[in-house]
Amino acid sequence: MKFSCQGERPCARVLAKAMCGIIGYVGRHRAKDILMDGLKRLEYRGYDSAGIALLEGSELRIVRAVGQLEALIRKAAPLELAGTVGIGHTRWATHGGVVEENAHPHRSSDGKIALVHNGVIENFATIREFLLSRGYCFASETDSEVLANLIAYHYGRGGGSGEKNHFGESVRRALLHVQGTYGIAVLCEDRPGELVGARNSSPLILGIGDGEHFLASDAAGFAARTRDVVFLRDGELVWASGEEFLLTNLCQERVEAQRQELDWDLTAGERGGYPHFMVKEILEQPQALENAMRGRFSADGSTAHFGGLAMTPQELRQVERIVLCACGTAHCACLVGEYLIEGLARIPVEVEYASEFRYRNAPMDRHTLVLVVSQSGETLDTLEAMREARRKGFRVLAITNGVGSSIAREADGGIYQHAGPEIGVASTKAFTSQLCLLALFALYLGRLRDLSFDEGVSIVEVLRAVPGQVREILLQGEAIRRIAERHGRCRDMLFLGRQVLFPIALEGALKLKEVSYVHAEGYAAAEMKHGPIALVTPECPSFFLACDGATLPKTISNMHEIHARGGPIIAVLSQGSAVPREIVDDPIWIPRAHGVALPILAAIPIQLFAYHMGVLRGGDVDKPRNLAKSVTVE
């Protein structure tokens, strides 16, 4: 799908935050199996607790369990649940602790309505007060239960009338009073063949099957059963039975559904024979990099080109400043992008955390281009930063792996990563694919300016060689595992690199923290002596990214400084490096490379190291504690 521009919908309400995975089904098959299968594919979105609700004739049955999905599967296994309509949820807690009462689905206190919700209802306290005064009561601390009751309230006011879409209308009326974000799927005990969903800033996708419909916060939830989808937009509501669906907005106007065919390789989202998604995705990087580059080099081999930028070369030449905006690992990718774009295209670049940028009111002149980077395309801070920039009239491009995601749909143009689904919560292949695309983008901008034909050709050659070089580095997995074994008991680590490898040091520290829970800090190597060196002891290893480049002699001095204080050194070195071997306890060799390729190559050892540290220390590397893959809350 091409990136497309989408204007504000007249009826769309104020949009802010939401997280979790939701799924809904209405059709002829056993909903329990379909929901459980969907939840397995959505579990990366949250794994504090999970639950399902099914309509068994006109009886609404709910099963919920704290912990990963396995707990719910075990609990539901002995239950006879034959219903063909249902909803399911896998939770990442926002309001209320991780206890069964707070797990979804939530049921209204009159028992009529069951709801799963991804998002945050900001005015839930006011609505709760109102409902308490009307005799409703609450079993949980969640904002979502308030919404279930509000829908029940509106349903009750209609007296359960026989009007065809009375259920959908009750949901619509309730949502008119809601401030906040939601992707919801709702069941009503009186309407056994119906399912209602709605979206505001939290993704929701309708799947259209043969005599059946699905709802999910990510099409992965049902893609095994249908590829025919409609991406709901903010302020839209869908009512579905097995045979038909109706799409409207909150103003009760009918909306023309834009059906799309998903083009997905489903096996890409399976773990296959690998012990974890994380290692599978690390090993998939050569292919992901090839996909990122495929069809994106010019015929003369001197530059890159992109199908979906929606900006002419003339317009791009007018750009005098670029703001790169993202969160987490994608932010580290942007920091590399800054070096590359400034180096190759000589355009000043600033890198912003999306969460800061959107509230900062940074002065930007009219020749500024904003480029957001997001694997999921759903990270709320990034989405809102992008909306803020567009509101101010800036052109916003996006690099994302999320085909059809909110960011892809709202950006003025952009570049798809085509890295395939990334299920492991810690980003790996999406990161290097972002680095690769930022390098291509920098090359393209450079060639529109002063970068010569010959320089362009040599950079293209460098980039084309990267997937093969990554394959070579991946062969060292076992050696890196042994290094992790030697340092597996440490409590703190430093990651140090300079210039284009400084952001890789930041990413190394982030990756290690996430999957192994070892405290780690990333620094520009020379900064180490301005404070962090105080941490250095024989128990605190330093992981240097000390590849060849103009600053290598300075980095070697920093290594000496740490070695002299008894700090163990792990170092990523270029083959044939001049770094004295006696100061490196654990070397990891990567091919010599140009600065555009180096960050990608150097990222591979830090990912493998973090992965093995995580496994050795017994954590769940695919689902580290407290994290979720797609952060759709502020």
User: Exactly one of 112, 513, 623, 629 is catalytic; which is it?
Assistant: 629
**Cα separation, 467 vs 435, whole angstroms:** 13
* 447-455 LR contacts (CB < 8 Å, sep 24+): 447/302, 447/303, 447/304, 448/313, 448/316, 448/317, 448/345, 449/317, 449/345, 449/346, 449/347, 450/346, 451/344, 451/345, 453/300, 453/302
| Residue 376 within binding range of ligand F6R, rule CB under 6 A | yes
CA angle 452, 453, 454 (to 5 degrees): 90
| Residue 330 within binding range of ligand F6R, rule CB under 6 A | yes
In whole angstroms, the minimum distance from the beta carbon of 507 to ligand F6R comes to 8
Q: Which is nearer to ligand F6R, 208 or 283 (CB)?
A: 283
Task: Confirm if 580 and 546 have CB atoms less than 8 A apart.
Answer: no
Which of these segments, 142-150, 368-376, 479-487, 593-601, binds ligand F6R (CB under 6 A)?
368-376
In whole angstroms, the minimum distance from the beta carbon of 355 to ligand F6R comes to 11
Counted residue by residue, the chain has a size of 634
Closest C-alpha to 280, from 419, 480, 486: 419
Number of Cβ within 10 Å of residue 475's Cβ equals 8
In whole angstroms, the minimum distance from the beta carbon of 426 to ligand F6R comes to 4
| Residue 621 within binding range of ligand F6R, rule CB under 6 A | no
C-alpha dist (Å) from residue 487 to 230, 484, 510, 543, 582: 49, 5, 17, 11, 18
In whole angstroms, the minimum distance from the beta carbon of 313 to ligand F6R comes to 28
Q: Which is nearer to ligand F6R, 53 or 426 (CB)?
A: 426
In whole angstroms, the minimum distance from the beta carbon of 374 to ligand F6R comes to 3
Q: Which is nearer to ligand F6R, 142 or 375 (CB)?
A: 375
| Residue 542 within binding range of ligand F6R, rule CB under 6 A | no
User: DSSP characters for 160-210?
Assistant: T---TTHHHHHHHHHHTT--B-EEEEEEETT-TT-EEEEEEBS--EEEE-S
| Residue 42 within binding range of ligand F6R, rule CB under 6 A | no
Show contacts with ligand F6R in window 454-483 (CB under 6 A).
none
Task: Confirm if 610 and 516 have CB atoms less than 8 A apart.
Answer: yes
User: DSSP characters for 60-108?
Assistant: EEEEEEESSHHHHHHHHTTS----SEEEEEEE--SSS-SSGGGSSPEE-
| Residue 382 within binding range of ligand F6R, rule CB under 6 A | yes
User: DSSP characters for 306-363?
Assistant: -SS----HHHHHT--EEEEEE-HHHHHHHHHHHHHHHHHH---EEEEEHHHHHHH---
In whole angstroms, the minimum distance from the beta carbon of 264 to ligand F6R comes to 18
Is residue 629 part of the annotated active site? The answer reads yes
Among 375, 433, 555, 632, binds ligand F6R (CB under 6 A): 375
422: three-class secondary structure by DSSP: coil
Show contacts with ligand F6R in window 43-82 (CB under 6 A).
none
Which of these segments, 6-14, 369-377, 387-395, 590-598, binds ligand F6R (CB under 6 A)?
369-377
Show contacts with ligand F6R in window 142-161 (CB under 6 A).
none
DSSP secondary structure letter of residue 124: H
Binding-residue pattern over the window 489 to 518 for ligand F6R, x denoting contact by CB under 6 A: ---------------------x---x----
In whole angstroms, the minimum distance from the beta carbon of 619 to ligand F6R comes to 14
| Residue 374 within binding range of ligand F6R, rule CB under 6 A | yes
Binding-residue pattern over the window 331 to 360 for ligand F6R, x denoting contact by CB under 6 A: ------------------------------
Q: How many CA atoms lie within 13 A of 266 on its CB side?
A: 12
Chain position carrying tokens 């800036």: 394
| Residue 631 within binding range of ligand F6R, rule CB under 6 A | yes
In whole angstroms, the minimum distance from the beta carbon of 161 to ligand F6R comes to 43
Structure tokens at 471: 């394959």
C-alpha dist (Å) from residue 350 to 334, 389, 475, 566: 9, 14, 36, 37
Among 241, 248, 329, 632, binds ligand F6R (CB under 6 A): 329
Closest C-alpha to 238, from 196, 297, 176: 196
| Residue 438 within binding range of ligand F6R, rule CB under 6 A | no
Task: Confirm if 45 and 407 have CB atoms less than 8 A apart.
Answer: no
| Residue 368 within binding range of ligand F6R, rule CB under 6 A | no
User: Exactly one of 17, 20, 112, 280 is catalytic; which is it?
Assistant: 20
Q: Which is nearer to ligand F6R, 170 or 427 (CB)?
A: 427
Q: Which is nearer to ligand F6R, 66 or 389 (CB)?
A: 389
The residue with its CB nearest to ligand F6R is 328
In whole angstroms, the minimum distance from the beta carbon of 531 to ligand F6R comes to 24
Q: Which is nearer to ligand F6R, 250 or 515 (CB)?
A: 515
| Residue 522 within binding range of ligand F6R, rule CB under 6 A | no
Show contacts with ligand F6R in window 416-435 (CB under 6 A).
426-427
Name the CA radius of gyration of the chain, rounded. 26
With CB under 6 A, what is the number of residues at the site for ligand F6R?
15
Is residue 20 part of the annotated active site? The answer reads yes
Chain position carrying tokens 């990161």: 431
**Cα separation, 284 vs 298, whole angstroms:** 25
In whole angstroms, the minimum distance from the beta carbon of 231 to ligand F6R comes to 17
| Residue 281 within binding range of ligand F6R, rule CB under 6 A | no
In whole angstroms, the minimum distance from the beta carbon of 51 to ligand F6R comes to 25
| Residue 379 within binding range of ligand F6R, rule CB under 6 A | yes
Which of these segments, 146-154, 323-331, 474-482, 558-566, binds ligand F6R (CB under 6 A)?
323-331
Task: Confirm if 146 and 131 have CB atoms less than 8 A apart.
Answer: yes
Give the type of residue at 120: V
C-alpha dist (Å) from residue 613 to 476, 537, 609, 616: 15, 19, 6, 5
Give the catalytic positions in this structure.
20, 629
| Residue ranges that bind ligand F6R, judged by CB under 6 A | 327-330, 374-376, 379, 382, 426-427, 510, 514, 630-631
